[in-house]
Structure 1
Amino acid sequence: MSETKLSAAIPLAVNDHSRDIVGMTYVYPVVSRRAGGVSVGINLNPNNACNWRCIYCQVPDLQRGNAPPLDLQQLERELDTMLDAIVNGSFMEEKVPAEARRLNDIALSGNGEPTSSRQFAEVIGLIGRIKQKFGLGAEVKLVLISNGSQMYRPEVQQALEQMREFNGEVWFKLDRAPVDDYSFVNQVALRDSQVVRHAVAAATRCPTWIQTCMFALDGQLPDETAIAAYLDLLRECLQAGAPLQGVLLYGLARPSTQAEAPRLSAAPRDWMENLAQRIETMGLPVKLSL
């Protein structure tokens, strides 16, 4: 077992995804409402830097930028220690609610865009070795939660192909169709053609789900024009050859820490269910989380 030790951790809960909950720099466990079990998160952006700034983001002190240089040896020690506690130790019994005592995945998410790390491909190889060490087969997924912005880079594409070998899965962010080449929700310049090109690049290399967060802004839900544009963009991705697995449709899970936080509120269940049905008519399965 690694020399890195777990600090005392409070019992995990779905509403607390604190990155430092066990005192580590890169690795943190969470109970995921969407996964229905424990997800071991890997944070490649401990500097709280991201190339997007989604207005619903819960990361405090978020700044624009990319992932910093990573200490891969430390990351490997931390992941080894965390998985040893889960697989061979008493972590599940002591820290996880009874109904969630199942290791579902290892997820690259964290406090910024994981693929902005120049060491991203090395991290994928590292995770693959650790999965093999602990005998974690197809039942434990390797999930990349990404805004898709770096999918044009050859080294990222190669890493996605390697992810497929480790039962990998990409969750590709698409919250709204851009308006005038800009996404207000994600606070970034964005074009439909970019989204389509990057979705094809991801989905043809690794199983890919579209990940969509819907909510009300200033008490107003997305209007029909916005929803129609979003659905049209999904169709464009499919028509361009992106073999999408489906859509992960979810609402506000935890409070935003961005300036727009007071303006955000949850979408009603019936509205979300109606949108899910419209997506499903396109032939895309939907997993809805409220």
Structure 2
Amino acid sequence: MRPLTTKDHSRDSAGLTYVYPVISRRSGGLSVGINLNPNNACNWRCVYCQVPNLTRGAAPDIDAERLGGELRALLNQILTGDFYHRFQIPPEQRAIKDIAISGNGEPTSCKTLDRIVELIGTVCDEFGLLGQIKLVLITNGSLVHKPIVQAALKRWSELGGEVWFKVDSATVEGILRINQVNLTPGSVHRNLEICARLCPTWIQTCLFSFDGESPSEAERRAYLDFLADLKHRDVPIQGVLLYGLARPSMQEQAPRLSALPGEELDAIADRIRALGFSVKVTR
């Protein structure tokens, strides 16, 4: 077994189909991932995405029985077995921080998302983890308008879960360049508001240099105006997760991307805090 590190978020580290352990920078330790897109399919194609052979599409049919079995087996290894020794995890990181629905594509494209959420809740209850660890759904938010997604979000909230909702840009041009989809900031705003009123929601934003250039002042101002409007409308956003590049992109734009200096991330975070938002910065 190769050691788990923040530099490697391989989905097959445990040799399973749907469940994988990672050491997460943003979670601050061990995160148990649920990959609902083992087909590497997503309706977006973010330039910084670390998924190899990414294709446009949706999640496949999910074998819920297998997913449940894998999750139970991995949790049992972590809680009672030699998991930490086999993956060479240092003592200070030997605790589950969260279970995260994430993976190799947009998880809310799963046709049975509501049942998967219920299954995760059942397994967590069996292991006494409900209320003890975080439950996180990481999403680009583009399918929040669908009834099945809204039902899943409501149940996720009841289980104590939260959402990390991707907003990398608040301009049409920026969304197209970074996420490679044609969306208006208005549609992102509407879905974000729906999501935040159904389940505790954090905005997650990846910042980086493109062709050696940092986000322009026009991009920064549009993003800040987007946040200010959320505040004005009393949309209950928990805060902003601001993070930079840590692992190499597997997309064709990879050579054009580079990490922002830490002081630049901090400066942007300060401008967000000035609007009244909590901000967590991960370099």
Please state which band the TM-score falls in when normalised by the shorter chain: over 0.9
Counterpart amino acid of 2:27? Answer: A
1:5-84 matched pairs, under 5 angstroms:
9-84=1-76
User: What is the one-letter code of the residue matched to 1:212?
Assistant: T
Residue equivalent to 1:6 = none
Please name the residue that 1:157 is paired with: 150
Give the Cα–Cα distance (whole angstroms) in 2 for the partners of residues 156 and 114 of structure 1.
Answer: 10
Distance (whole Å) between structure 2 residues aligned to residue 230 and residue 69 of structure 1:
36
Matches within 5 A, 1:132-211: 132-179=125-172, 182-211=175-204
Deviations 1:217-251 (A, max 9, x none): 01000110010001111222333342000000000
Paired with 2:81 and 2:194, the residues of 1 have a C-alpha distance of: 39
Does residue 130 of structure 1 match 2:123?
yes
Match in the other structure for 2:109: 116
Instruction: State the alpha-carbon separation in 1 of the partners of residues 114 and 101 from structure 2.
Output: 12
Write out the 4+ residue segments of structure 1 that deviate beyond 4 Å after TM superposition.
none
The residue type equivalent to 2:105 in the other structure is G
CA RMSD, Structure 1 to Structure 2 (Å):
1.2
Is the contact made by 2:165 and 2:203 (CA closer than 8 Å) also made in structure 1? yes
Is residue 208–residue 258 contact of structure 2 (8 Å, CA) maintained in 1?
yes
The equivalent position to 2:244 in structure 1, one of 223, 248, 251, is 251
CA distance in 1, matches of 2:222, 2:21: 36
Tell me the distance in 2 between the aligned counterparts of 1:171 and 1:279: 17
Q: Within 2, Cα distance between the matches of 1:92 and 1:25?
A: 20
Q: Which structure: greater helix fraction?
A: 2
Q: Return 5+ residue gaps in structure 2 as ranges.
A: none
| Equivalent residue, structure 2, for 1:4 | none
Q: Give the secondary structure class of the aligned counterpart of 2:198.
A: coil
Q: 1:271 to 1:181 in 2, by over 3 A?
A: closer
What's the CA shift for 1:180? 5.3
CA distance in 2, matches of 1:229, 1:149: 19
In 2, the alpha carbon distance for the partners of 1:228 and 1:67 equals 35
SS at match of 2:252: coil
**CA–CA distance in structure 2, aligned partners of residues 98 and 279 of structure 1:** 35
| 1:200–1:240 CA contact under 8 A, matched in 2 | no
Structure 1 equivalent of residue 98 of structure 2: 105
- Percent identity, aligned pairs only? 52
Task: Tell whether 2:226 aligns with 1:233.
Answer: yes
8 Å Cα contact 2:42-2:105 kept in structure 1:
yes
Taking structure 1 as the reference length, what is the TM-score of the superposition?
0.95
Partners in 1 of 2:53 and 2:158 — Cα distance? 36
Q: Matches of 2:159 and 2:78 in 1, distance apart?
A: 19
TM-superposed CA distance for 1:90, in Å, is 2.0
- The one-letter code sitting in structure 2 at the alignment partner of 1:41 is G
Work out the CA distance in 2 between the residues paired with 1:116 and 1:239. Answer: 31
Structure 2 equivalent of residue 3 of structure 1? none
Conserved in 2, the CA contact under 8 Å of 1:52 and 1:187? yes
Secondary structure in 1 matching 2:7: coil
Which sections of structure 1, spanning at least 5 residues, go unmatched?
Answer: 1-8
Q: How far 1:181 sits from its partner (Å)?
A: 8.8
The answer for the alignment partner of 1:5 in structure 2 is none
SS state at 2:236 partner: coil
Matched, 1:262 2:255: yes
What's the TM-score once normalised by structure 2's chain length?
0.97
1:147 and 1:173 in contact (8 A); partners too:
yes
- Tell me how far apart the structure 1 counterparts of residues 71 and 81 of structure 2 sit (CA, whole Å): 14
Counterpart of 1:259 in 2: which secondary structure?
coil
Distance 2:172 2:265 in 1: 22
How many angstroms does 1:182 deviate by?
Answer: 4.9
1:98 Cα deviation after fit: 1.7
Partner of 1:248: helix, strand, or coil? strand
